[in-house]
Copies of this chain bind each other. A is one copy, B any other.
């Protein structure tokens, strides 16, 4: 792979800083994690967006969260023989191998993926409609939710609502995985939905009773 380059200096420098401080002070814990394997209590599914750092928001230490991050925190439906293995394998690994107690799906304000889906649905994103747009194809699974937000006039409000729909669709799709459904029904796993407004630091949780989100 002749194209690879050495790690940028600023990252190498920070790594050495981490090694001499946080790693040094916690080396007992790091060694324990290496020797005993991981036993994370929760799986977090959130967006790749650089502003959404779930481990910081929840003060999670190494070993606590098994984290899958993709565009718009989407989980496709269960499909044997399908090919959405990248995401499905993370759910499978978390539930069947690690037996996590919680799966938390966390969406966020200003999600480019959710906005892209709205744009597609409103005919404003021909580039996403192209068959070679991976992002467009990935967002297809959110598309049916557009009808939930189509009547909202205010574009900001519409976007926020579509962001929250990413959580609902993912939670619903999670329940199509037989091993997830079984674990949930046997009280071996609980599912949780969140949406964060990173600009104001407001975290909202999905309330199954009302089908709405409310501040935590």
Q: Which secondary structure dominates where chain A touches chain B?
A: mixed
Q: In the complex, A137→B7 CA distance in Å?
A: 31
Q: With an 8 A cutoff between CB atoms, is A119 at the interface?
A: no
Q: With an 8 A cutoff between CB atoms, is A81 at the interface?
A: yes
What sequence of 0s and 1s flags, for each residue 27-46 of chain A, a beta carbon within 8 Å of any chain B beta carbon? 11111111101111111000
Partner pick for A90 among B31, B71, B207, CB 8 A cutoff: B71
Q: Which residue of B lies closest to A37 (CB)?
A: B110
Show 14 A/B contacts (Cβ-Cβ < 8 Å), sorted by A: A3-B171, A6-B25, A6-B205, A8-B26, A11-B104, A14-B58, A17-B17, A23-B201, A30-B51, A51-B63, A52-B62, A53-B60, A83-B137, A93-B112
- Tell me whether A198 and B82 are in contact (CB under 8 A): no
* Number of A residues, CB within 8 Å of B: 124
- Tell me whether A64 and B84 are in contact (CB under 8 A): no
What are the 4 closest A-B residue pairs judged by CB atoms, nearest first? Answer: A17-B17, A34-B199, A20-B20, A83-B83
Q: In the complex, A171→B200 CA distance in Å?
A: 26
Q: In the complex, A211→B50 CA distance in Å?
A: 30
- Tell me whether B102 and A8 are in contact (CB under 8 A): yes
Besides the contacts A1-B208, A15-B216, A24-B201, what 8 more A-B pairs have beta carbons closer than 8 Å? Answer: A5-B190, A14-B58, A20-B24, A27-B201, A48-B66, A68-B69, A86-B138, A89-B137
**Distance to closest chain B CB from A202 (angstroms):** 8
Partner pick for A18 among B58, B109, B184, B193, CB 8 A cutoff: B58
* B residues in contact with A85, CB < 8 Å: 84, 134-135, 137-138
